[in-house]
Structure 1
């Protein structure tokens, strides 16, 4: 008899945990949708013809996190043809220059132009202003907790 309540408690806890997991998944979906909107807005800030993936490529180049096609493919988890199209467009728009890699003459390095750096900086400032405004209303402890949980989730 004593096993039955424990089983019910376990079932209730399991249901509550399932509900919590579904809520987190739903909220992450909403957050990702907002991030995609932010990328679209940032891309339009840089150039009206730039797609969100193009903005991500350009932002990676500007930040120095990825300066070769291979690095971009790995960082953005996309395919070679998509990166190739985006780099071609960024070059045509005068936002990226392609130079021979001094360490490997077969490879090319992608360098952001001054115009690209200026426009990405403006796009980031607008986005970070909106996000920062929301986050600054939270305590440092809450921000540290969220950052830690996101880091754990990303692993």
Structure 2
């Protein structure tokens, strides 16, 4: 306990400007470590999971929309999709509205793999939040979601993958 919290026990959770970044960084590190472990068997790891999850849950109309949603460069996305196609978890089909474009769809095997990995990710997230009471973890998830959407609206091209890649 530092000097200021010893003098003012009610301030035990008070922060100074700049602490938010440290706190977010520590939470992100803890999340990243658990997430990497949970999806270690997924082709292409975290990014493979994100692509497969987006394909299944968001159903983007084509590969370009998928890349835009995930803020992944199209060249990188092509390699990721190639890896997932080779693993048999997604396939490219012609976009019904534009035969020149390709839609990425999950295979049955991909859907099964995603369901298995989502259980692992949910357990990893529960582990990370285990120090909080359930109402606190639900409130935190809601607040972070709201904040993330505000940041995304203000900086629509921002890549959360890139942010994780550049952690010190």
- What's the TM-score once normalised by structure 2's chain length? 0.67
Farther off after superposition, 18-27 or 90-99: 18-27
CA deviation map 1:29-79 (0-9, x unaligned): 1222233334423432334xx232222112211223435222222222121
Q: State the match for 2:105 in structure 1.
A: 111
Query: May I ask how many residue pairs the two structures share in their alignment?
Result: 135
Q: State the match for 2:76 in structure 1.
A: 82
Structure-to-structure mapping, 1:60-99, within 5 angstroms: 60-66=54-60, 68-99=62-93
Q: State the match for 1:32 in structure 2.
A: 28
Work out whether 1:138 is the aligned partner of 2:133. Answer: yes
Q: State the match for 1:43 in structure 2.
A: 39
- What's the TM-score once normalised by structure 1's chain length? 0.72
Q: State the match for 1:126 in structure 2.
A: 120
Q: Is the 8 Å Cα contact of residues 31 and 125 (structure 2) preserved in structure 1?
A: no
Change (3 A) 1:40 1:85: same
Cα distance between partner residues in 1 of 2:36 and 2:56: 17
**Please, which runs of 5 or more residues in structure 2 have no aligned partner?**
1-13, 151-168
Root-mean-square deviation over aligned CA pairs: 2.6
Q: State the match for 2:155 in structure 1.
A: none
Higher relative contact order (CA 8 A, sep 6+): 2
* Structure number, greater radius of gyration: 1
